[in-house]
Structure 1
Amino acid sequence: MKIEFLGTRGKVEPSAPKYRHHTGFLIDKKILIDVGEKQFMNRNPEAVVFTHFHPDHGYFISEDEKFNPGIPHYGPQEHPLIPDLQVITNKFTIKGYTFTPIPVIHAFKLKSLGYVVEKDDRKIFFTGDVAWIEKAHLAEIKGLDLIITEATMINKGGRINRKKDKIFGHTGVPDLVRIFSPLTKKIVFTHFGDWFFEDVESSLKRLGEFSSTELEIIPAHDGFQISI
């Protein structure tokens, strides 16, 4: 599988060259995961899959316009702006790619899903935005060739909010490394937060410090491609 990162900026005001667009992943030029920018649809994907419905993952939310692309499109829950959405309830297959949904804790009022995507004995986990993933769900994931996750917060613990016995927000890069390193030897970080844009070169070096002999850390940028 070849993954192209169409956008790598989180829901933040600052940007930088090569880090201007919001989230979107294009798998083998066929399947688009998240549509953070309207122009991503110009790539003519054959299907669209959403992790959750925040504006930096679905541009149409901030513009309050209907999303009806005329191709199969899937997401974790119904949304008033997506009349023909197919709601994901279990493992499903698109164009020969198997998607296994993984429940992810992120937003207070919205459902969020990550996806383990499999094809030709290759397996990639797109986590989406993460406050936490229950250990029982992680225990179901094995043999990953790559994890693609977020870097909104660089500090340990991230920014976690609590309300009505629920947590939501973004955990930190150190926590994600700890959680995911037993599952893979390669992690790509994207969805960069405010911290990243204070000094991009220094931030890239800071991310690189999480690499080890057993784990490769790769920071993505707009247009970055990786083949697995």
Structure 2
Amino acid sequence: MGRTFAIGDLHGGLKGLIQLLERIDLTTEDTLIFLGDYVDGWSDSANTVTYLISLARQNSCVFLRGNHDDLLQKWLEKNELNQKWLEHGGQSSIDAYRRLNQEEIEQHIQFFREMFNYHIDAENRLYVHAGFTNVNGPDFEYHDTGFYWDRTLWEMVLALNEDLKVDDLFYPKRLTHFKEIYIGHTPVTRINEIEPVNRANVWNVDTGAAFKGKISAIEVKTKKIYQSDPVFELYPQEEGRN
């Protein structure tokens, strides 16, 4: 039986991802669940997606949709431009995709189309880029965008009283549906942490790779954490999203 890893936001940091997988000592028996945001940040956004497409031929991979992936897909398919996207890493992806031919771009569009909004494994663990808002669970959401934009799930567990029990009247119902929840989207560096953070049954695996942080993976059974070097050190001539 192979291992299962949840892997946090990449933001075009292909050098960091390759380094991380080497440190994991990846085998073809391992399952990789990527929590989204493969692009927008470092110069390797297009190369990162190419690498992930190839990786999925070797390993069992689950690719979740991040907000930056959704924005890039809209640009690739419809030429939609969002000024805030350009300011927060989008321009780096546009520059990267100018180096691809049309056949490669079509392969990438298909990759984005086939991403999942969320994934539930056989052990009732939920994997999602940002979170969900419906108290009855993600299957009951009215809009897909919350899965890759909404931050309230993470904000809620950060503010949660640690003494509150699951069967308490005031315990958040959202947290009761799953054994564990793995997310990205909001860098834990914002709360001065450098490794994946656990609050209640939620694990945040975004360790700020787009900025001054690392790319992180957590083995979901053992909770062993693996990390790359700080990604900005691997791209010394670039600014990323800093």
TM over 0.5: no
Structure label with greater radius of gyration: 2
| TM norm structure 2 | 0.36
| TM norm structure 1 | 0.38
Higher RCO by CA contacts (8 Å cutoff, separation 6 or greater):
2
Higher helix residue share: 2
Higher strand residue share: 1
